Structure 1
């Protein structure tokens, strides 16, 4: 399918393709390489689109921003499971994983969500995140040193973007350095849940047992790490169960890994493809912080998030019925010309830049500030320390086959 030809056809009066093609198009190889022309077409032709499978696709900034704050669109695990089951989905892997995790804040609605979020907010403060800046800088410098010593080329994702968040989260949670290889192994197995359920479940069980031991140690001997802070918060709130505490630790440690990796990877690719913007950042290192906001807008790792309709509601003149699924395409909203001037242009000094890359409303990504801090340090340091950084093979770039995520398999560069 050629999105340019389709768009031109619509302009010439030929009319859009069949409605179901709008959703199906996102699964094509062409959309995997570049989904943004497809999002533009969806916003223009049917911004509140119901697919042939009965799933809603929302692509306008105003609609998605409102939807993210609307409690009639639920993130509840049980509702989500029923909705997928009604569509005939095979939820064996998903249900076994969510049974392990329990009812954590990322798959609950108010009032449980508010109670669990309050727990995490008390421990995961802006001050605590900012206090990690020097440590993040040291980790990034060490990773770059290792990559440079290894030779004139590297896979930037493997060498810097992937190991960075794991090292940082272990620092934040007080996970000993000697345990890092084992934690990485567990994380890799989580990612293969759909391929090998038994191996993934075994990894989850082992990881939970490991976290439970850490929690017991922090109760006996508190430190200055996030697990100790969560344990202290639980002691002040007897409504928080041990299971909820453990699940909160699990989610907070696990959730930011892939997002941070691909915020750095996607962001560096965008800069390497836009040498004028790269030169601008290199000339003014103070641009690193706003640059990350723009890089997250331009090519966000989380392309869409899923909600289930808990109560009938109307969006954009369409009625979404209870029990239906809605995909909120954050990446599409971030290129909405009604919200962003010249949205397909990368502009590190874009004024009034408020993308929805980390969501909005009650489920706004708790780890967003930490992900942004890591990306700010990593991108700024790579640009400063490697002045001749460039892509080695544009044609070799490939993306993982998941339309809800935008993640490079590798980023080959020379320096």
Structure 2
């Protein structure tokens, strides 16, 4: 449920031309510095790119690293440009700016506008100073100690999921059996959501995911979920526990207090955002290992490599392929002028394969040194839930490798990737063991 999830959604990039900038005469042709020989961005919507986008990124980095699509959206694919952009205050993540940018493009904003209105002004769609205040308060509650304290519980959940899968037979869909149920179970424990409520929460989450298909049902699920969270918040305010909702409620006693609306929105986003991302970090990571038996054998022989291995798996096949910003003030990147109000896609997946930053970037190397990838962002919007996602991946991947020595892709497995080019998501991962 992040801004990134709503962008483009796999739709054809063909669309209305870029709206005329207020400073341009109405009859002026497209500015010369914006002209493109062809729209390389359109290639990212092809079936070939869905299966493997990285050759397309390499071409874009080489031919047009600061690329303007036919729809009028900028695509950045070099590590240095994206790293700098993630800390540049002239590139905004503000909800209202983002909505205006999509209105200017003439896109269908019904779902986007209604969803962002519901989420309110949370960390993921605000700029400083609001972002800094909300982030500081969330950091007080979402501490490294609290995350690490979950490790034993995560291990128990993973073992239970694997036990259940093994008892069912010699094959499984690894996404359905392990990668998908794990983050939901973990986040519910972190937030003190009772186990008996888990099926209902899962139902709400599945309806959120069908936002573009049935907006009314998705909004109904959001209403019900918000009412449920509001009841939990009232309960924790009356009787605090050792959970994250209680910790966030406690920040309301501090000077920089969260408003009730901000508290509800923060809980909504923190619980929701890490679910699919963690699932696919585990799924994409396991697929990479199964396709590289030398690295799988290396990890099996030395389980102590797991922490660095997860960092490399996150780099090698990035879940969040791109995040979105809007230009708040004209700026120049790579000799191109980006104008106020234009949208910018920062392709993290491309930066993580940039040979200017990573030696032999298309090679999976679980002991890769200086692995400062951008999979979880950079700068003020660095993913707050990144440490929790990596903890779950460490436990899940490490345990699967250790407990299932014969693990392999199922014979004849046909892998299907979901169509959104901004997210790298497997529909299923059939394996046998």
TM-score, with length taken from structure 2: 0.91
Give the corresponding residue for 1:284. Answer: 302
- Secondary structure of 1:308's partner? strand
Residue pair 1:298, 1:334 contacting (<8 A) in 2 also: yes
Does 1:199 find its partner at 2:217? yes
Give the corresponding residue for 1:8. Answer: none
Give the corresponding residue for 1:104. Answer: 122
Give the corresponding residue for 1:229. Answer: 247
Give the corresponding residue for 1:262. Answer: 280
- Secondary structure of 1:358's partner? coil
CA apart distance, 1:21: 3.1
CA apart distance, 1:239: 4.2
CA apart distance, 1:393: 4.0
CA apart distance, 1:394: 5.5
2: CA distance between counterparts of 1:238 and 1:182? 33
Does 1:212 find its partner at 2:230? yes
The 5-angstrom pairing of residues 163-182 of structure 1 reads 163-182=181-200
Q: Could you say which structure has the higher helix fraction?
A: 1
The 5-angstrom pairing of residues 330-409 of structure 1 reads 330-393=348-411, 396-409=414-427
Unaligned runs of 5+ in 1: 1-17
2: CA distance between counterparts of 1:354 and 1:19? 33
Does 1:244 find its partner at 2:262? yes
CA deviation string 1:117-144 (max 9, x = no partner): 0111000001100000000000000000
Among 326, 334, 338, which residue is 1:316 paired with? 334
Among 122, 138, 155, which residue is 2:156 paired with? 138
Residue pair 2:171, 2:431 contacting (<8 A) in 1 also: yes
Give the corresponding residue for 1:5. Answer: none
2: CA distance between counterparts of 1:277 and 1:394? 22
CA apart distance, 1:238: 5.7
Residue 394 to residue 287, structure 1, CA distance change in 2 (3 Å): farther
Instruction: Provide the aligned length of Structure 1 versus Structure 2.
Output: 398
Residue 126 to residue 103, structure 1, CA distance change in 2 (3 Å): same
Unaligned runs of 5+ in 2: 1-35
- Secondary structure of 1:327's partner? strand
Does 1:411 find its partner at 2:429? yes
Give the corresponding residue for 1:4. Answer: none
Give the corresponding residue for 1:151. Answer: 169
The 5-angstrom pairing of residues 13-32 of structure 1 reads 19-32=37-50
Residue pair 2:92, 2:327 contacting (<8 A) in 1 also: yes
Among 41, 44, 54, which residue is 2:62 paired with? 44
1: CA distance between counterparts of 2:246 and 2:37? 52
Residue pair 1:302, 1:331 contacting (<8 A) in 2 also: yes
2: CA distance between counterparts of 1:24 and 1:300? 20
2: CA distance between counterparts of 1:234 and 1:226? 13
CA apart distance, 1:260: 0.1
Give the corresponding residue for 2:8. Answer: none
Does 1:186 find its partner at 2:229? no
- Secondary structure of 1:319's partner? strand
Does 1:126 find its partner at 2:144? yes
CA apart distance, 1:236: 1.3
CA apart distance, 1:98: 1.2
2: CA distance between counterparts of 1:261 and 1:394? 23
Residue 394 to residue 359, structure 1, CA distance change in 2 (3 Å): farther
- Secondary structure of 2:268's partner? helix
Residue pair 1:119, 1:234 contacting (<8 A) in 2 also: no
1: CA distance between counterparts of 2:392 and 2:54? 26
Residue pair 1:19, 1:51 contacting (<8 A) in 2 also: no
- Secondary structure of 1:396's partner? coil
2: CA distance between counterparts of 1:277 and 1:361? 31
